[in-house]
């Protein structure tokens, strides 16, 4: 729902693994709105266009989804690299190295007026909500679901990225069949964390800001979660995190360890402001008493007052293996 963004007893020298969690028992339940920039693993072709009635990219055999890795045998890792090579190149035909389905190929492309006929991208940007920060490890988790490539519908393969400060300027309200969205401004120079991982349970990395004295919530195991009243922490105006009432109607473990919590918004103030769950709310922490139980991930499109969340333990387990 981003806006258009899982051990040692030693006996007789045998190590027997057991399940010991590396995450802390108490963590910060954030709710801060964040801007997100995810650098893709390669320069991806997202479209082609005609130049003087000719589509040079298609004639070269290039397709949407291919990843460009070299120009005239020079390795490229960004669109800026490609632009720099082309600006000082007087040739009309260039060699392009690209990857498709894990295999590398080379083709020749004929330029038209120094244009390639390619639409490219090397990053994905959007907004979402910071779910947690572990005060002991400074690992963070956000969104509660993957960032997907809008052109291919597949999870974005990333090498790194950043989260930065963001402020909500206005809200487009949800209505049945049409989820709304947060409209926001970014401060890309105010980087607050480095993304290390994009998975179906969220984006994860290391928080770079100083951690202030904030209230810590106990990490809920599934047996600690009760049906009934709870709250979500999120931003709907400026940068102020507020809490809104919800009702948890179902808790379940699922095969992919997502969509574990079904809930409905009961807070009349939030319903008046947003009409229900909106894009950009992904990652809003769900708290119940002194527990953080999960994060908002999906909206029920036909009824935006209802949505799904992921268990916080599933997000924390996903964050355990990231390294600086």
Instruction: Give me the active site residues, please.
Output: 145, 267, 282
Tokens of 239: 């940068």
The C-alpha atoms of residue 35 and residue 42 are separated, in whole angstroms, by 21
- What single-letter DSSP state applies at residue 150? T
Helix/strand/coil for 79: helix
Pairing state between β 93-100 and 9-11: unpaired
CA distances from 18 to 21, 22, 138, 195 (A): 10, 12, 24, 29
The C-alpha atoms of residue 318 and residue 113 are separated, in whole angstroms, by 48
Spacing of C-alpha 194 from chain mean position: 12
User: Which of 291, 131, 295 shows the shortest CA–CA distance to 223?
Assistant: 291
The length of the chain is 324
β-sheet bridge partners, residue 160:
39
Exposure on the CB side of residue 32, measured as CA atoms within 13 A: 20
User: Which of 27, 291, 322 shows the shortest CA–CA distance to 158?
Assistant: 322
Tokens of 15: 């190590």
The C-alpha atoms of residue 190 and residue 226 are separated, in whole angstroms, by 38
Residue 92: exposure state from Cβ atoms within 10 A (0-12, 13-18, ≥19)? exposed
């Amino acid at each position: 729902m981003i806006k258009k963004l899982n051990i040692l007893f030693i006996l007789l020298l045998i190590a027997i693994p057991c399940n010991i969690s590396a995450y802390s028992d108490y963590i910060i339940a954030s709710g801060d709105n964040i801007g997100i920039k995810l650098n893709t693993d390669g320069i991806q072709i997202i479209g082609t266009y005609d130049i003087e009635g000719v589509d040079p990219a298609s004639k070269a055999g290039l397709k949407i989804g291919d990843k460009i890795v070299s120009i005239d045998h020079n390795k490229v890792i960004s669109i800026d690299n490609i632009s720099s090579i082309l600006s000082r190149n007087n040739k009309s035909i260039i060699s392009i190295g690209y990857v498709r389905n894990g295999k590398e190929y080379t083709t020749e492309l004929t330029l038209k007026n120094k244009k390639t006929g390619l639409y490219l991208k090397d990053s994905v940007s959007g907004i979402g909500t910071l779910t947690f920060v572990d005060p002991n490890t400074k690992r963070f988790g956000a969104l509660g679901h993957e960032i997907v490539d809008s052109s291919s519908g597949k999870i974005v393969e990333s090498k790194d990225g950043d989260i930065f400060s963001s402020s909500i300027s206005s809200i487009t309200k949800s209505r049945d069949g049409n989820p709304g969205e947060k409209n926001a401004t970014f401060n890309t120079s105010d980087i607050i964390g480095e993304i290390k991982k994009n998975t179906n349970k969220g984006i994860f990395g290391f928080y770079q800001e100083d951690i202030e004295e904030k209230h810590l919530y106990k990490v809920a195991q599934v047996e600690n979660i009760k049906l009934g009243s709870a709250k979500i922490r999120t931003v709907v105006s400026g940068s102020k995190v507020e809490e809104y009432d919800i009702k948890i109607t179902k808790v379940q473990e699922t095969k992919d360890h997502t969509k574990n919590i079904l809930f409905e918004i009961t807070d009349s103030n939030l319903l008046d402001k947003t009409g229900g769950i909106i894009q950009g709310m992904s990652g809003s922490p769900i708290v119940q008493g002194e527990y953080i139980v999960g994060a908002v991930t999906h909206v029920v499109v036909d009824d935006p007052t209802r949505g799904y969340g992921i268990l916080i333990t599933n997000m924390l387990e996903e964050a355990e293996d990231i390294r600086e």
